[in-house]
Copies of this chain bind each other. A is one copy, B any other.
Amino acid sequence: MTALEAVPGPRVPGALPPGPGGAAGWHAGLDVGGSKVLAVLLEDGLLRRTVRVPSRPGVTGVVATAADAVGRLCAAEGLAPGVLASVGVGLPGVVDAAAGTVAHAVNLGLEDAAPVAHLLGQALGGVRVALENDLNAAALGAARVLGLRGDLAFLSLGTGLAAGLLLDGRLRRGHRGAAGEVGHLPYRPDGPVCPCGQRGCLELYASGSALAAAWPSRTGRPPAQEVFAAASQGDAAAGGVRDRFVDAVAAAVLTLVLTCDVEHVVVGGGVAQLGQPLLVALEVALRARTATSPFLASLGVADRVQVVRPELLVAPIGAALAAAEGTGEAVAAVG
């Protein structure tokens, strides 16, 4: 993606509600990460523009970067930000959607609850801004972009490992915002100490960071690309790294199925850039488990998995949908 692109699609299924005052139909969505902000502009459910800008930390940095991204999207269409019906922002932290705050967003340099919705709304001249956890936003976006109607988990393989959950058409946040935190389930009791303080957490085996630690890049390409390429060319060490990684991801998928029994597990995040080879490896690992277990086979676990490449922008699109349609209230059932 270049800095600012006009795109003809993908069409996001399901009409978005019109905005106020008849200016109507323009919605922005942002996915704010530790290194970059991805932003999209939708017009009546059609993806019109995307932009990527580098992140800046702290509440001032986050708000300024987000306002900058929205400003660029609007300028490219000749719009004033004030005509936007809503702006949705996905953030990697504990979001209080009602209060419009985010806390514990360590990668953004935000610890205490930061009133990002209010500040960004002000910066944009009064536009309505809604926040959502980034993985929840991605779950919403994945359901809509991929046209999936059943319950869904968006399993992100990035710096960490965690899932956004869409159950009965609603986002599942949980009692303390910990729903989908499968990365900190114990996986190897004798494993290394995790930054969370436990030992052998699943995240230490099934994340982009885990791959990077096991296979430091030799060519400058992302480690996941290198490992899978080398493994497919017969490099035994790379094959071992790949297989251990994929086995751990399979354990995460299984955990989501045997707890929430979601119909779809959409694997995303940086590692999902791999696309088809990741899906194939994951299906092989899951079928190896189901081959010995009629119980697992009856659940069709391998058939539930999809890989969504970052280019499909499900996280910022989902953030836009969450803001446009109200957060967590059966939004995925529309369309």
Task: Give the B-binding residues of A (Cβ under 8 A).
Answer: 150-151, 167-168, 170, 172-182, 184-186, 196-198, 251, 254-263, 289, 292-296, 298-300, 304
Contact = CB atoms under 8 A, between A and B. Distances in A.
Given A184-B296, A296-B197, A176 B255 contact: no
Given A197-B292, A197-B295, A255 B263 contact: no
Given A184-B295, A186-B251, A300-B176, A259 B261 contact: no
Which of A256, A259, A260, A295 has the most B CB atoms < 10 Å from its CB?
Answer: A259
Nearest to A168: B170
A255 B259 contact: yes
A178 B253 CA distance: 13
Which 3 pairs between the two chains have the least Cβ-Cβ distance?
A174-B261, A197-B293, A179-B261
Nearest to A181: B258
B176 A261 contact: yes
Given A196-B296, A197-B292, A293-B198, A173 B261 contact: yes
A92 to B, nearest CB: 14
Given A172-B167, A186-B254, A178 B261 contact: yes
A95 to B, nearest CB: 14
9 contacts: A172-B260, A174-B260, A176-B300, A179-B260, A179-B261, A197-B292, A198-B293, A255-B259, A259-B259
A178 B258 contact: yes
A174 B256 contact: no
Given A151-B174, A151-B175, A259-B259, 7 more contacts: A174-B262, A175-B263, A176-B261, A177-B261, A198-B295, A255-B259, A259-B260
Contacts of A185: 254-255, 258
A295 B176 CA distance: 11
Contacts of A182: 258-259
Majority-rule SS of A interface residues: loop
A177 to B, nearest CB: 7
A179 B259 contact: yes
Nearest to A177: B261
Nearest to A197: B293
A296 B183 CA distance: 12
Contacts of A176: 261, 298-300
A35 B311 CA distance: 56
Nearest to A176: B299
A299 B167 contact: no
A175 B261 contact: yes
A294 B300 CA distance: 37
Contacts of A175: 150-151, 261-263, 304
Nearest to A297: B197
A260 B259 CA distance: 8
A60 to B, nearest CB: 26
Nearest to A328: B168
A259 B292 contact: no
B174 A292 contact: no
Contacts of A263: 175
Nearest to A193: B292
Contacts of A292: 197-198
A304 to B, nearest CB: 8
